[in-house]
Chain A
Amino acid sequence: MTTLTDKPAPAVRPPSAPRARRRTRAAQQSPLGWRIVVVGLLTVVALYFLLPVYWLIVAATKSTGDLFGSFGLWFSRPQLWENLRNVLTYDGSIYLRWTLNSILYAGAGAAIATLLAAMAGYAMAKYEFRSREPVFNVILAGVLIPGTALALPLFLLFSELGLANTYLAVLLPSIVNPFGVYLCRIYAAAAVPDSLMEAARIDGAGEARIFTSLALRIMAPALVTIFLFQFVGIWNNYFLPLVMLSDPKLYPITLGLTSWQSFADRQPDLYQLTVGGAFLSVIPLMVAILVLQRFWRSGLTEGSLKG
């Protein structure tokens, strides 16, 4: 698979790529002193990455008074359940609604985006047609466009269509993932054998059938990765919903929590609600990231793209 190292995509590795690792002999050669230095370094960096998470866990257990009045890195009169109950019941349980909205935007958006990217990438990889490369280049150019530069004109367009401030305003732009097409093309080109497609055609399968029952199954590992990255990209997106939505009932969690935070100087209880809400939304996602670690082999984030 020389194309993988020639093109700017570490990305999804087709099954043909080498994966054997032989560490043991190298590990024996490494002197103990050097190993302690390396592991020490890795530990210090890990503490940096975990510090805000630790602070969040501690802060989520505190009362509003203790949030400001006690040392931030240690517990003081923990009342986690009471805090979480407040988060979940405040303002007619709006937090639950935000959570469901986020799941809808990210779940449905990523699922459709992945399917569309799979279809387009597969077509680009397995069929010859005249305008193939120019079309592909136009799609790739989309990867370089800052997502925030699109959000503002999209809002103006959606306003004229009467679509601003609706679920569709956030969902529709989220289902287009040009980088996913790029990854799918590379993966399909390497992993879906022409001979298998030809055999299926001789057996009388139509092109759509070949895609749904053969190609999709073979491309599954790449599709899982693309889905996960798109899910997190939409989940973390802030600018698009901020621009599109004015009704708090349609907010995703990111927008909801910042709305609490922005009112907190007038209503100090909201500080604790913001912290508790952040805790509730961050912890499940972190667990998911750790559990799904082996699926994050690759990729590219929409997060850095769409801000």
Chain B
Amino acid sequence: MTTRSTRRRAVAGFLMPFLLLYAAFFILPIGYAVYQSLLKTERSGPLGLGGSHRVFAGLSNYTTALTDPGFVDSILRVLGFALVQVPLMIALATALALLLDSASAWGVPLFRGAYFLPYGVPGVIASILWGFLYVPGVSPIVDILGKTGIRADFLGSGTVLWSVANIVTWEFAGYNMLVVVAQLKAIDTDLYEAARIDGANAWQVVRHVKLPLIRPAIVLTTVFTIIGSLQLFAEPLVLRPISTAISTSYTPNLAAYTQAFVNNNYGLAAAQAVILAFVACVFSFGFLRLTGQKGDKR
């Protein structure tokens, strides 16, 4: 049949451009990273001056990465970071969205705009800004706290990770809020009416109508916050010159970047990137599975 074949050609025409580019820039790099992670550079001749070539290294790059305390620490650091950052971020975003949606709020577009504004600021520029607000001598915050007798240190080894958390929260809380707001707006207002007729107060409407219905938005923002937290990079990189607490392997991404571009050890860098992608997928898939099952039981 001619219509069937023309439609098949249409599908191919619409889909192929995307699929080819997706294969080239998503699937191929993953394969290539895995391939590179199995290679190492071997030098020949006296003192390694006879030139170098790539040879198969088995899993040695992975054992090197996973037995390097610095790299293992960096993974544990971002996991600890995510453990605090994710609940904080989602709670803040959800609370702001619900407050803006509540009947008691005034000036909603104004507030929503103010919260969403930082999303337009690139992470590195946000980090430069907050860096000025953290560093003693420039920061008005340190100034003011100092006058009240508090010696604030935002860049010490115990605090700098949470200073990074503050930057990340500032950047993305408004964005996550907007995702929740979009879903809140899609709720049929008749449901509120029905709940009120049943005698529900504002809190009960939130608890039993709004929260269950915005659950997909919360799951979505949680997954993206998990992935974002694990691939922390720009913020610690920008704060590095002003904080001695941030090492070149402070986060897994910083470690991989250092291996690739400072030590020219592409095999190890690729192995570290693969490990990070694996950890991120385990946690994001794991979270989706967990919430998916809960949904089925209800």
Contacts and interface: CB of A to CB of B under 8 A. Distances in A.
A293 interface: yes
Interface string B1-18: 000001111110111011
A34 B143 CA distance: 35
A7 to B, nearest CB: 7
A29 interface: yes
B163 to A, nearest CB: 13
A249 B33 CA distance: 29
A204 to B, nearest CB: 12
A6 B195 CA distance: 21
Contacts of A150: 25-26, 29-30
B183 to A, nearest CB: 3
A146 B227 contact: yes
Main secondary structure of the interface of B (DSSP, over half): helix
Contact of A145 (B11, B26, B270): B26
A145 to B, nearest CB: 6
B109 interface: yes
Nearest to B193: A22
B228 to A, nearest CB: 4
Contact of A208 (B10, B21, B174, B223): B10
Interface size class of A (residues with CB under 8 A): 35 or more
Most chain A beta carbons < 10 A, residue from B10, B115, B139, B281: B10
A72 B128 contact: no
B124 interface: yes
Interface in B84-142: 96, 99-100, 102-107, 109, 111-126, 128-130, 132-133, 137-140
Nearest to A180: B18
A145 B281 contact: yes
A144 B280 contact: yes
Main secondary structure of the interface of A (DSSP, over half): helix
Nearest to A297: B182
A176 B30 contact: no
Most chain A beta carbons < 10 A, residue from B22, B202, B230: B22
B52 to A, nearest CB: 15
A288 B120 contact: yes
Nearest to A258: B124
Contacts, number: 322
B105 A127 contact: no
B231 A307 contact: yes
A303 B30 CA distance: 20
A123 B14 contact: yes
B152 interface: no
B179 A293 contact: no
A21 interface: yes
A212 B186 CA distance: 29
A117 interface: yes
Contacts of B280: 144-146, 149
B274 interface: yes
A232 interface: yes
Interface size class of B (residues with CB under 8 A): 35 or more
Interface stretch (B42-50, B57-65, B68-76, B214-222): B214-222
Interface stretch (A81-89, A90-98, A278-286): A278-286
Contacts of A35: 104-106
A91 B281 CA distance: 44
A75 to B, nearest CB: 12
A223 interface: no
Contacts of B234: 238-239, 307
Interface in A1-50: 1, 4-11, 13, 17-23, 26-27, 29-30, 34-35, 37-39, 41-43, 45-46, 48-50
B116 A299 contact: no
A207 B273 contact: no
Given A18-B189, A145-B30, A305 B117 contact: no
Contacts of A41: 99
A175 B172 CA distance: 23
Interface string B154-177: 000000000000000011111100
A261 B33 contact: no
A116 B15 CA distance: 8
A254 B103 contact: no
Contact of A154 (B25, B126, B143, B238): B25
A236 interface: yes
A146 B118 CA distance: 22
B117 A49 contact: yes
A35 B223 CA distance: 33
17 contacts: A5-B216, A18-B188, A39-B107, A42-B100, A72-B140, A119-B15, A120-B18, A124-B15, A139-B22, A145-B30, A148-B233, A149-B273, A149-B276, A157-B32, A207-B10, A238-B233, A301-B224
Interface of B: 6-11, 13-15, 17-19, 21-22, 24-26, 28-30, 32-33, 36, 96, 99-100, 102-107, 109, 111-126, 128-130, 132-133, 137-140, 143, 170-175, 178-180, 182-183, 185-189, 192, 202, 213-214, 216-217, 219-220, 223-225, 227-228, 230-234, 237-238, 241, 253, 256-257, 260-261, 266, 269-270, 273-274, 276-277, 280-281, 284-285, 288
